[in-house]
Structure 1
Amino acid sequence: MEDNNKACDETVSTTTEMEVVEAAAPTEAEEGDEEEEGEEGCEFEFEIGTDPVDLVQEAPDGVELYQRFERLENEAIEERERKRKAVQHQRQFPDQEGPSKKPRQDEFLGATMEEIDELMNFGFRRRRSRGSCGKKGRRKGSRKKLNPIVSTKIAQATVHYASKEYNEAIPLLHDVVRLAPNIADGYHLLGLVHDSLHDRKKAFNFHMIAAFFSRKDASLWKKLVAWSIKMGDVALVKHCLSKAMIADPDDVGLKFDAAMLYFNAGEFLKAAELYEQILRLSPENVQACITAAKMYRKCGRTEKGIQILEDYVNAGKQKSDLSVIELLINLYMSNNAHNKALRQIDKWHAALDSEKLPFHLEAKATICCAHLGDMSHAEVFLHHLPLEATKETIDVVAEVADSFFEMGNYDYALKFYFKLEFLTDNPDGDLYKKIGQCYMSLKERSKAVPFFYKALNKMEENVEIRLTLASILFEEGKEDETIILLSPSDSSEKNSQPKSWWLNSQVKMQLAKVYHSKGMLESFVNTIYSSVRDTLITESINQKLRPVKKLSKHVLIERAKLLAEQEPDSVFHGFRPLASSAELLKASRAKKLLEKRAALKEQKRAVAIASGLEWHTDDSDEEPQRREKQEPPLPGFLQKQENHQLLVDLCKALASLQRYWEALEIINKALKVAHDDIFSSQRKEELRSLGAEIAYGTTDPKHGFDYVKYIVQQHPYSNAAWNCYYKVVSKLEDRYSKHNKFVRYMRNLRNDCIPPIIISGHQFNSISQHQAATADYLEAYKLQPDNPLINLCVGTSLINLALGFRLKNKHHCIIQGFAFLYKYLRLCENSQEALYNIARAYHHVGLVTLAASYYEKVLAMHEKDEPVPRLPYEKPPSDQQDPKSNYCDLRREAAYNLHLIYKKSGAVDLARQILKDYCTV
């Protein structure tokens, strides 16, 4: 319809009255002489009972009119395809009975189902000619004329519109779209009327429906594109552009707009394909050619971009535009096709009148030759460099230098970097950094130091340069200089906020390693302790966090916004935005879940009000507090194996500084987050052993009990492990339940293990339950009768038992006790310690004469003193501070006890002489 197209070609703001009259009243010639439409008609039609006006005004279901159009269109296409296959099947197998067979004329009172359906839907569906069932579109002159009533109303409405009587035109046009809902003319005229009334939303909606029923009316779709751009709805612009391009596939401007839309959305492949279509329509368009190649490179299809540029160059257009050649050379080089790039440069050089290549192309030729193994061009290009410092010269030299650096040709890279330093008035830190990296790659680390210092002066906050320089200085033995480099300055310490480079975890770890290598344990701990502790705490909290299955209301609303970007009174409110299918699925689910929660909340409110209760809104279930994982101060600290040794060194340093509680805290938290994929079993064993060794040094040994328990579980027959265990347990309260349960468990688990039996006997002795202690010692004696310690324990326990009040045969028990003690003396080969214990036993039961004789034997012997056994990380005190430094020689203890005996017997002078000889400092 030519006149109709004229009306649609009008601009957004102006439409003449005469064009409207011509658009609304198609002529008879147009109806009879129109060519076949093919796919011009709409793929679907409104069903009976559908009121298009209500669809526009009420926008039911949120409105999903656009989605309904799409769904009906797809269903119509599927139905048409199904019928086509059925007809094809009937033609191939005419005698076969099946679902595709047509019913006989006499089955339904002489009429087919198609005819009955056409009669029932008269005015709503177009009737297809029987002879056209195998042909798409319609035949020439087959367009059905409008109902006379509809034509009359359109004519009247057109007259009212021309007379600017818009309120009289609207009811007539409402009747038109109700009587002929599948004709575009009524919707189009309604859109023009509402546009004249400055109701842009309704005008847009009616124009959109009209466009759906006249798919190939390109001017109408272009008009909708312009309106949607003004509305600012990207998704709507995309949809209208796609329909406009289908209606007018030769419009280059539409394709440019769509390509830019896809580019802004990050869909580079679709943008590249559109630019390629533009290039096919307009082969002379250089911008489309260049942009298409760039888009293909962005989406990783460099070969396709190269092909487009090659086709353009081979067509003979390279003489007028050098930018295409340069881009093609760049793509060749990025695709490692340096020989092709060099041939293209030579080809361009041959086409030039001048003998000398442009400066930037000469640089690219030098790079290509270097990649191909020819370095002679590099020397020539270096000597031909201009002395004037222009932006082009600096950029080209930097490109060549970076290319040699990436190739690993550091000698030539240095030459060009030094040339670049000469050309630049104020070189930046990145240039000095690259020079330093070149020297490092050439194994000339000392030469790199001054350049890294220059780079650091320009880029003080650059952590990479600072760490690289620190590692060089540390390897050269300049530890003090390394500490100064990695330590914050005095000014940053005075400020409340230190410089950002000091907050970097790698800087602190590097500085801590330097302190540890120099033995500065206190500085080492102060540097890294708080960061390691906070990291372990954060990792422990993050491991406990589990994903919340119930999404919060805020998250659901944000997701549902994808389906509700348009304003509520728009027919196309809920227009699907530019998003992936997964995002749209999440948005749909979020919308349904919000509606379900709102209905449930309303139901609860109604129940509460009906029960006479006061309703209080509880949003706790709707807004679950979802805690996100926090970033630790030392990211990735536990995942690196070299950091595990730093963790152990930190614990050892804390133990050496007698900060036992802090050391145990680090070990506790490290083992809590130590999974098998993080810590090896050997490393965890080392941490537990360290925790067991330093556990007794804390004021509350309960925190180290688990470690010593683990050690003896791993080494149940090791006396050293049980000694460490008992050293910790001895500082606990007598009735510590965990200890007692563990000892009983080990005794039941391993009947032949002696240490837990002896420890149990010691515990009974400490609470004066000598009979139970004796039973435990005798049980151990059965396992090892020749153990001196067990004999000593049995003997002393029997003597203590004999001194009680309940035992009747005390003398017999004392004799048994001394029998074990003398066996102990014999096993110890009459050592000073054994003689002293015998003397002390006689002194304890009142046999002072025998006690004095054994004390005198002790005084006659001399034992060499040894230092008190200590754990590996205990700090040994000086002899003046340690009262037990001479604990091996027992003569002072024996002299003191002997002087008590002499003093009690009245020999005061003899007692004084003993003290003077053995106990005087």
Structure 2
Amino acid sequence: MDNLRPGPSNVKMDLEKELTNKFLSGEMSFAEYSSEWYEHEDEEDVDLRKNDHEPRQSVQLAEKGLTRRRKYTRLSTALLGLMGEANLRFVRGDKDTAEKMCHEIIKQVPTAPEPYQTLAQIYENDPEKSMQFSLLAAHLSPSDANEWLRLAALSKQRNDVKQEMICYTQAIKAEPHNLDTHMKRLELLTTLEELRYPLHTLSITRVKCYHKIAASLPPTEGETIMKYAKMAATLYHESGELEHALDVIATAYKKCPALFSMEDTNIFLELLISQKQYQTCIDVFVVNAGVEIEAEIQTVQNSDNLVEEQTNYVNCTLPDNLPIDLKTKLLICFIYLGAINLVEPLLQDFLTYDVEKAGDLYMDIEEALSSVGQHKLALQLLEPLVKNASFDLGAVWLKHAECLFNLGREREAIDSYYKVLKHAPQHADARRKMYRILEAKGSIDEALDILQQDYKFVVSASLLFEQCCALKKYNKMLKYLEVGEALLSKNFVRYRHMEELKIARKTKGGVDLIHEFRTMRGENPYNEDDLHFDEDETFKLSPKEEWSFFQELLGVACERKQYCAMQRLTFGSLMSKSLAPNRLDIEFYCLQACLLNNDHQNAFSFIRDFSMKYPSNKCWNILDLVINSIDENTHVKFLSRLFQREPNIVKNLFLGNNYLISGRYIVALKYFIEYHDQCREPLSAFLIGITLIIMAAQRTMDKHHNLILQGMSYLITYQHMRKFDQEAYYNIGRAYHMLSINNLAIEYYERALKSPPVTKCEKHGVMDLTRETAFNLYLLYKDHSPLIAKQYLFKYIVI
């Protein structure tokens, strides 16, 4: 069975047949057909790499089993005879037989060019088919630049831009030394640019054309090579492709080094340094710049116990006319190559140059010295820079400060860091380093102050977070809360009015949703005092870290009784996308913050939702607390809907209290009596008694005495159900006091004083009404018996 499986050659043959048939039937263009052959690679890029690095590229392609140029497929002896017969029949005018023979050959060997060449001649009266066969023949045959140029001209007549570009590219591959073909391709590219053709659909760009010219022409065309190498390098440099820029300049240098001027050499060295090819730079200095360098090769044993050769640079002699730019680059190369013995004398010579003119070069050398740890030498360059008015800049002072710090001169480093902040007040890195120095010296307050950013300017989120960590470390919790709130404001919202809060509570969108809402209202989407964070900074708290940080800030705000800050935090967190999974907890925190901040109106909007979603005694108790704290009494409809979904006798208490507060006493009495009939609790008896007594005090009511008797009867029932405790005596005394039955009021107040406290609680302590009772007795006696009144004050009301 294994013998029946299709082998790689059979699969390849099937693919070739399929591609050929698709092209011949018009299902794919020649550009698509060609790209399939080349396995979707960018042909021009590959060719450039091949020309620039021939040995290495050929090895890589061999390892991958790829061949850039299709091999010419030779026909067998039998098929060659058949091909000859087909050509003979065509010459004699028997086109049909010749065509059949060609198709038979294609059927057996679809990658042989000869049948396509003949078919192109057979269909010379059909330009479309003739063109197809000619393209196939040119693609499959050994390279023929003239044929590709002919096909390019035909493609131009047909206005097939993409195919014309492919033909020119193939012609250049066939004959890379022909400058005229390169110029034709560039001319076509220029025309396309003027027509604003979408060049991204082509596999060629202007810079690739320039690079190809420099890579293809022989050394005899030195001036042309230099011209296009410079043009390519300029375009590469502008797009940040320094490696390609170096490739094209290196190609030109290899072919015509004698044509390199000092300016060209300077550019070449700059590119080499950017790619850290310092040894190559030394070679260029010796060959092109007239620098004489003595070096010795030593054999050393490395850390892996392997023997390797090491170059030690002994001496260096510079020509008198060597430009300062090249001296700078030579210094940089020696620095990175570790030749400090040569750097020191060259540096002393360099320091004689005017700082005003050569300041930028000073900075380049300093950067190299600092990167290899030669801070003492780097400081020699920085000292004249910071003394010059033209270089009194934050960036220069920062390097000066870091250099001093690395040398252990911390006090001087702090002074330099302060100069950095003078020029760049929001420089986060300078503040961080100053903090570490000051903290190590024990100046904690000064260290914490240095972390504070000015919120009027762009702020660093990462520095805000580090400031929070430092404030927490040294227990500056109020400041920690303030800075933490500023950090979270990046993802949190500050609401301007109730409509925005309603949107936040109903949706789970981000901050952008509120900004869009403000824009729709014609408002500025941002507040004037919003913090502006550094957009280039990548610092971001993970959702888990943000949630933990948010909870910690809430704990601090609650502990320090900063309830306004607590409410701002909780409300703002509603629109944070990273905290969206914790939405239920956040809404409960919002409720707590509203209650603690006495914002009962907003608290009601949260507790009503909780009551609908999670009906329980706890929710109802909080709901009752909030309702009784709101001035407006318009919650009857909501309470009715709430208990229609979850029928409960507690409904009578809620509605009864609501109607009692609103002055609808008869309706309130009805709900209280219904509750009392089912529950028989002291509370319901007390509420009924109080309601009846309040009704008796109304002028619009008849039979006041009967109402009073009924009310007191329920209060006595309440007293029995409370088992004659302090609370019952006190409340009945209050009732008699309200009715001006003072003798009975005094009697019950006295009983309350003699009773033990109501209860004891581990959390809230003793619940005792002694002081309240004594104060009421004082009120009763103060007008008629002041001495007795004072006795109650001095005995019971003492703090």
What is the TM-score with the length of structure 1 in the denominator? 0.47
Q: State yes or no: 1:822 paired with 2:696.
A: no
2:246–2:271 contact (8 Å) kept in structure 1: yes
Distance 1:131 1:815 in 2: 119
Q: Mapping of 1:747-766 within 5 angstroms?
A: 747-751=643-647, 754=650, 758-766=653-661
Superposition deviation, residue 339 in structure 1? 5.8
Matching residue's letter, 1:272? V
Q: State yes or no: 1:283 paired with 2:217.
A: no
Q: Deviations over 1:341-367 (max 9, x none)?
A: 566667768985996265766765675
- Seen in structure 2, the aligned counterparts of structure 1 residues 888 and 540 have a Cα distance that, compared at 3 Å, is farther
- Which residue, out of 756, 759, 771, partners 1:889? 771
Distance 1:655 1:753 in 2: 38
- Which residue, out of 442, 454, 468, partners 2:419? 454
Superposition deviation, residue 368 in structure 1? 5.8
Distance 2:334 2:584 in 1: 54
Superposition deviation, residue 308 in structure 1? 2.7
Aligned to 2:233: 293
Superposition deviation, residue 388 in structure 1? 0.7
- Seen in structure 2, the aligned counterparts of structure 1 residues 536 and 398 have a Cα distance that, compared at 3 Å, is farther
Aligned to 1:435: 400
- Which residue, out of 595, 598, 601, partners 1:696? 598
Comparing both chains, which one has the higher relative contact order based on Cα–Cα distances under 8 Å and sequence gaps of 6 or more?
1
Q: State yes or no: 1:706 paired with 2:646.
A: no
Deviates more, 1:279-288 or 1:470-479: 470-479
Matching residue's letter, 2:656? G
Superposition deviation, residue 688 in structure 1? 0.9
Q: Mapping of 1:161-200 within 5 angstroms?
A: none
Aligned to 2:250: 310
Distance 2:406 2:728 in 1: 71
Aligned to 2:365: 400
Distance 1:783 1:441 in 2: 83
Equivalent pairs counted in the alignment come to 562
Aligned to 2:586: 684
For the aligned residue pairs, the C-alpha RMSD in angstroms reads 6.4
Distance 2:128 2:486 in 1: 84
2:591–2:606 contact (8 Å) kept in structure 1: yes
Secondary structure of the structure 1 residue equivalent to 2:515? helix
Matching residue's letter, 1:821? Q
Distance 1:895 1:362 in 2: 103
Aligned to 1:38: none
Superposition deviation, residue 416 in structure 1? 1.2
- Seen in structure 2, the aligned counterparts of structure 1 residues 504 and 368 have a Cα distance that, compared at 3 Å, is same
Q: State yes or no: 1:732 paired with 2:627.
A: no
1:521–1:653 contact (8 Å) kept in structure 2: no
- Seen in structure 2, the aligned counterparts of structure 1 residues 773 and 545 have a Cα distance that, compared at 3 Å, is closer
Q: State yes or no: 1:544 paired with 2:442.
A: no
Distance 1:370 1:675 in 2: 50
Pick the structure with greater CA Rg. 1
Matching residue's letter, 2:594? A
Distance 2:243 2:552 in 1: 54
Secondary structure of the structure 1 residue equivalent to 2:598? helix
Matching residue's letter, 1:857? R
1:899–1:914 contact (8 Å) kept in structure 2: yes
Matching residue's letter, 1:275? Y
Distance 2:620 2:746 in 1: 36
- Seen in structure 2, the aligned counterparts of structure 1 residues 314 and 674 have a Cα distance that, compared at 3 Å, is closer
Distance 2:400 2:649 in 1: 68
Secondary structure of the structure 2 residue equivalent to 1:283? helix
- Which residue, out of 403, 411, 416, partners 2:378? 416
Distance 1:504 1:820 in 2: 67
Distance 2:674 2:749 in 1: 31
Matching residue's letter, 1:815? S
Matching residue's letter, 2:531? L
Matching residue's letter, 2:639? V
Superposition deviation, residue 734 in structure 1? 5.0
Q: Mapping of 1:400-799 within 5 angstroms?
A: 400-403=365-368, 409=372, 411-413=373-375, 415-422=377-384, 425-426=387-388, 427-429=391-393, 430-437=395-402, 448-457=413-422, 459-460=423-424, 463-464=427-428, 468=432, 479=445, 502-505=456-459, 541-544=514-517, 633-635=530-532, 666=568, 670=572, 673-675=575-577, 680-681=582-583, 684-685=586-587, 688-694=590-596, 696=598, 701-710=600-609, 717=616, 719=618, 725-733=623-631, 735-736=633-634, 739-751=635-647, 754=650, 758-770=653-665, 772-774=667-669, 776-777=671-672, 789=683, 792-793=686-687, 796-797=690-691
Q: Mapping of 1:872-883 within 5 angstroms?
A: none
1:799–1:813 contact (8 Å) kept in structure 2: yes
Distance 1:343 1:400 in 2: 20
Q: Deviations over 1:254-276 (max 9, x none)?
A: 989969x99x9999984423434
1:866–1:888 contact (8 Å) kept in structure 2: no
1:691–1:707 contact (8 Å) kept in structure 2: no
Aligned identity (percent) is 15
Superposition deviation, residue 822 in structure 1? 1.9
Matching residue's letter, 1:837? N
Aligned to 1:914: 788
- Which residue, out of 843, 847, 857, partners 2:751? 857
Q: Deviations over 1:790-829 (max 9, x none)?
A: 5644554566678864798985775344223221245xxx
Distance 1:345 1:784 in 2: 104
Superposition deviation, residue 451 in structure 1? 1.4
- Seen in structure 2, the aligned counterparts of structure 1 residues 891 and 487 have a Cα distance that, compared at 3 Å, is same
Secondary structure of the structure 1 residue equivalent to 2:633? coil
Distance 1:785 1:357 in 2: 112
- Seen in structure 2, the aligned counterparts of structure 1 residues 455 and 247 have a Cα distance that, compared at 3 Å, is closer
Matching residue's letter, 1:858? A
Distance 1:346 1:919 in 2: 107
Distance 1:311 1:487 in 2: 52
- Structure 1 stretches lacking a partner, 5+ long: 1-86, 97-127, 137-211, 217-245, 489-500, 548-624, 871-884
- Seen in structure 2, the aligned counterparts of structure 1 residues 356 and 487 have a Cα distance that, compared at 3 Å, is closer
Q: Mapping of 1:66-145 within 5 angstroms?
A: 92-93=99-100
Secondary structure of the structure 1 residue equivalent to 2:316? coil
Matching residue's letter, 1:729? I
Q: State yes or no: 1:381 paired with 2:346.
A: no
Distance 1:543 1:648 in 2: 31
Q: Deviations over 1:269-288 (max 9, x none)?
A: 84423434664664234343
Superposition deviation, residue 852 in structure 1? 3.5
Distance 1:821 1:802 in 2: 20
What is the TM-score with the length of structure 2 in the denominator? 0.52
1:712–1:718 contact (8 Å) kept in structure 2: no
1:764–1:773 contact (8 Å) kept in structure 2: yes
